[in-house]
Structures are given as C-alpha cells and as structure tokens.
Chain A
Amino acid sequence: MIVELLEFAFLLIITLILAYGVRHYLFTITVLKLANKPRKARVTENSNEPYVSILVPAHNEEKVIERLLKQLTLLTYPKNKLHVIVVNDASFDQTGRIAEKYSQVYDFIEVLHRDKNVGGKGKASAMNAGLQRAIGEIILCFDADYYPQKDIVEKLVEAFVDPKVGAVQGRVVVLNEPQNIVTRLVALERIGGYRVDQEARDSLGLITQFGGTVGAFRHSVLEKIGGWDPSVLAEDTDLTFKVYLAGYKIRYKVDAECYEEAVDNWRAYWHQRVRWAKGHMQCFFRHCFQVLKSSNLNTKEKIDGLMILSVYFMPLLVFFSSLISILLLFLDVYFISYAWFFVPVLFYCFAGNFAPFYEVGIGVYLDNRTRTQWLIPLLIFTFLYNIPICMKALLDIMFNKTLRKKGLEPWYKTVHLGQGNSYIKN
C-alpha cells in the first residue's frame, strides 16, 4: 500500500515537473523564433505622451538615491509631463535631505516625507501614499537602487495606446554583476527570467508578471484594483493577478532596461528569497481559485497563472520527488530504473530562479555574452539553496495561518550599498 502510494505521488510530481519543463522549453523556442524575426522599429515620434507620475519609495537609501535622481533629471521625456514623487518613508539617514536637495532644483521632483508614526510600514504602504499624491495618467515605479535608461518612460508608455493594457513591465538587468559569484548567479537568474520568460509570455499572450519595479500602470486601473496591498509580501505578484482578474493585460518591453543592484551575499539572498517565496505562496492561497473561476482569463492564461502562482512550491516538489525516487530504487520498483534517470535531469532543469539551464543559456546567447554562460552549472547551488528557503517560507505561512496572524508586513528591505557596477560610473 505504501509503495503504491509512493509510486502514485512520484508519478504525479513527475508529471507536474514535466509540465514546467515543457512550458519553459516552449518559452525558449518562442524567444529564439522571435530573435530571428526583424524587430519592429519603435515609433520615435510618439503622439501618445501622457502625464506620467514616477513613484520612488525610499527607506534608508542614502547610498543609492542620488544616482537614481540624477538619472531621472536626464530622462528624455518632456519634463512638463513628468512628476517624480520620492516617498521618504521614515528614513533615519540622509535620504530625505538628498531628495529635498533635488526637489529644490527641479520643479518636477517632489518629496513626500513620512515620519515613523505614519511611515515605515512597508513598500506597499509607501507606494499607496505616493499614489494619493500622483496626478499622472500613467504611474511608473522605480526602486531607489535602480538606474533607468534615459528614454525608458517613452518605451514603457508606448504600449498604453491599447486601452486593454493595464500595466507595462520593463527589463531588469543586474548592475553589479562582476562584483562576486552571488551577483553573477543572480544575474543569470535575471537573464532567464527577463530575457526569455517574460518576453515569451508576452508574445504567447500568457500572464506577464509585474516585477514590482520598472513598471508602469494606468492610474485608473490602479485605482480600480485598490492600489498596493500592504498585507502581502509579494505586492508585485498580487498586483499582477489583480490587473488580469480585472480584465486588463500586462505587456512586457524587453528594450526598456533598468539596472538594479543585486544582493551580493548569501545571507541577503536568503532573506530576499524567503520574502519572495512567502509572498508568492500568500498570493497562491489568495488568487488560486479566483484565477480558476475568472471569466476575464482564457484557458492558457489560467494554466500559466496557476503555474506562476505555484512556482515557489516547485523546489520542494522536486526535492521530495528525488527522495521518493531514491526510496523506490531501494524498494526495487519495476519502473524506477528507467524513470530514475528523468528525475535528476528535471531536478537540474529547475536550477536557478526556476528557469531551466537551457533557458538561461539561450538568454545569455541572445544577449551575446560570450562567457557568462560558463557559470550555468553552478546554478545547481542556488537551486539547492532555494529548497530550505521555500521550506522556511511554507512553514512560516502555515504557522501564521494556524495562529491566524494578520496585519501589515514591515519593510523587509535589501540593503543597497551603491557599490560596484558594470555599466555606470558613480
């Protein structure tokens, strides 16, 4: 009986993993085909130049905020149609002063100071405060450690010509990639996600994810869905599904690049990923049935949506399926000698930030980086590291659910030092 149960569980998990493998394979092929097609030239003289509000939530970002503000002053978008709101959210360093210095010189920059009584309650809360002040038709979000291209606003705003588009996501590229092995591996994960995954999803008409930053929203849509939810850790995934469930689409612009400072040590990586995993799992429990029932989503969007929502369960499933397969090997189950071989291949397929090695490899190839892909085999370590990360996240969620803990999530922020970057000089 136990053996039969194990066999059933094993086959079920393998089917699920195979589905993910096939999905990523299709993504990779789609992007490869797209790369061979000539790209449409961007409309340079865009008549669609709506009023844009840029929200920059900042909590103790003195080391990086100036770099972003400096770059924002260089944006090519007409300044009379631009409004930058820096939300200085209960910072106790020089963030407010630096932002204030810029707002005194540039009319289109405004600083919203929130003291510790009102602020310090998380990024979502800070974003909502900024949203109340925003008057733009389009709302853009940038994290303080980001470094946008000068024409990023034009690129992001372009897609809003279509009234069905509720949001647009740009590409995130790691700024401090050469710093050390952690930043290099994070950069590989980002390439898999943003160069292949997101572009393929956009092209196939699936669920394009809003990544929390380097994104633009239609103000009316954001108001309609109630802005950012401060009780969710992955407010980006939450917003993604809210936008789709409200009947709008999210587009992805691979050429709208913005450079971010990635975590540079395993400890920071752990904290960041636990937060992401917990947030994603929260969203799974929140949106899973809504996605299934929604009349605004078609079948392929529903399937993709469920796969996105459950992606942080995958490292656990792959891990358990490997354990079961070893157990079945000991029990001498007849099919396992063949099936066994598929487990590690699939196990490895999910190395990195849930992008299989072939997807990351093709992403790197399409970026024409000749040596970066040599580190792909090392993604197995980040994947192994993700197993306890996801385990902790799941246990935390279950623990909180059992104790019925509710309330606002505080700022779990990654420390940005403004060090080392491969693209710009400070």
Chain B
Amino acid sequence: MVKLKKQSLQSHFIIKQRGRVVKIIEKSATALFLTIISFCILAFYKYLNLGSAMVLLITNLLFFSLIYYLKSRTVKKIALMAIGNIAGLLFSLFYQFLASQFSYLFGSSMILISEILFPFSVSFFAVSFWSYGLTFLYDGKNKKEATT
C-alpha cells in the first residue's frame, strides 16, 4: 500500500517536472522565434527600405492579434509567424535580385515596373501565407457540416 502510494507520488512528481521542462522549452522557443521576427524586420529595413519594414511590422501585428484568439499553442503561432517572416524576407530579396537582373538586361524602365509591382506581389505573398498558415492552426475537430 505504502509502496503504491510512493509510486503514484513519484509518477506525479515526474509528470510535474516534465510539464515544467516543456514549459521552459516552449518559452525559450517562443523567445527565439520572436528574436527571428525582430531580425527579419531589421533585415527588411537594412536590405530593402523603411516602408517595407513598416509593412512587415503592421502585418505581424495584424496577424498576431488575430491568431492570438485561435485555439492553438502560442509557440506554434509564433513559429508560424517566424517562418512567414523568413519566407517573406527571402521572397523580397529574390524579387529585388530578379528586378536588378531584369533592369540590367532590359533597361532602367524595369526598375520602375518592379517598384510598382513589388507591393502587390508582397501583399499576394502575405495573403497566401496567411491562408495556408491557418491550416496548421486547426484543432481538426468539429468540421462544419450542414444540419438539415
């Protein structure tokens, strides 16, 4: 009887300890992802311009304020946002690289065209990422079905 009680106490302690470790890992991961997001915004400012960095900041705030209410773990949400920021940065840099190559090949008018198209393509990227990203935040239950 005493042995059983001791065992259950031990398992309770292990579960509690494990919970604490998971919490610490989650908090560290969240901090890491937030740092990544901050670096992405800084990189946007350094390699692109202030306007792009501002748009990224606003988009991040908008997305976070919305997904904050969704039934999913915070670390998952922040991770998704960090991935989005990295992908957005890579997309923008690749776009700039393509624009410079096109302007080198076809003349300086391409710079203006790429400048006009840039915000549209970035918006399209952000919206696409948002809609695909939502898929990872579902709890997978209660799919809407008609009640006739």
A9 within 8 A of B: no
Whether the Cβ atoms of A25 and B62 lie closer than 8 Å is: yes
**Per a CB cutoff under 8 Å, which of B49, B69, B131, B146 touches A374?**
B131
**Per a CB cutoff under 8 Å, which of A341, A361, A365 touches B51?**
A341
Report the Cα distance A341→B50, complex, angstroms: 10
Whether the Cβ atoms of B143 and A368 lie closer than 8 Å is: yes
Report the Cα distance A133→B147, complex, angstroms: 31
Report the Cα distance A314→B110, complex, angstroms: 31
In the complex where A370-B140, A380-B124 touch, is A423 in contact with B131 (Cβ < 8 A)? Answer: no
A320 within 8 A of B: no
Stretch of B4-12, B26-34, B99-107, B112-120 at the chain-chain interface: B112-120
Whether the Cβ atoms of A376 and B131 lie closer than 8 Å is: yes
Q: Which residues of A contact B135 (CB under 8 A)?
A: 370-371, 373-374
* 16 CB-based A-B contacts, threshold 8 Å: A29-B66, A36-B69, A149-B147, A338-B51, A340-B51, A341-B52, A344-B119, A345-B126, A357-B127, A357-B130, A357-B131, A358-B63, A358-B130, A364-B134, A377-B124, A377-B128
Q: What 14 new A-B contacts, CB under 8 Å, besides A348-B124, A368-B144?
A: A29-B65, A173-B146, A257-B146, A259-B148, A326-B116, A337-B51, A344-B120, A345-B58, A345-B123, A357-B131, A361-B134, A374-B131, A375-B131, A376-B128
Q: Which residues of A contact B70 (CB under 8 A)?
A: 32, 365
B36 within 8 A of A: no
Q: Which residues of A contact B97 (CB under 8 A)?
A: none
Whether the Cβ atoms of B123 and A32 lie closer than 8 Å is: no
B141 within 8 A of A: yes
* Proximity bits, A340-359, B CB within 8 Å = 1, else 0: 11111101100100000110
A residues within 8 Å of B by Cβ? 25, 28-29, 32-33, 35-36, 71, 147, 149-150, 173, 257, 259, 326, 329, 337-338, 340-345, 347-348, 351, 357-358, 361-362, 364-365, 367-371, 373-377, 380, 422-424
Q: Which residues of A contact B122 (CB under 8 A)?
A: 344
Distance (whole angstroms) from the CB of B71 to the closest CB of chain A: 8
B55 within 8 A of A: yes
B91 within 8 A of A: no
Report the Cα distance A36→B70, complex, angstroms: 9
Report the Cα distance A173→B144, complex, angstroms: 11
Whether the Cβ atoms of A348 and B55 lie closer than 8 Å is: no
Closest to B65 in A: A29
Whether the Cβ atoms of B141 and A368 lie closer than 8 Å is: yes
Rank and list the top 10 A-B pairs by shortest CB-CB distance, nearest first.
A423-B146, A32-B69, A367-B144, A376-B131, A344-B119, A341-B51, A373-B131, A348-B123, A377-B128, A368-B143
Report the Cα distance A374→B127, complex, angstroms: 10
Report the Cα distance A374→B71, complex, angstroms: 19
**Per a CB cutoff under 8 Å, which of B52, B66, B131, B143 touches A32?**
B66
Closest to A367 in B: B144
Q: Specify which of A150, A347, A361 lies most central, judged by the most chain B CB atoms within 10 Å of its CB.
A: A361
* Proximity bits, B59-86, A CB within 8 Å = 1, else 0: 1001101100111000000000000000
Give the residues from 16 to 56 in chain B that come closer than 8 angstroms, CB to CB, to chain A. 49-52, 54-55
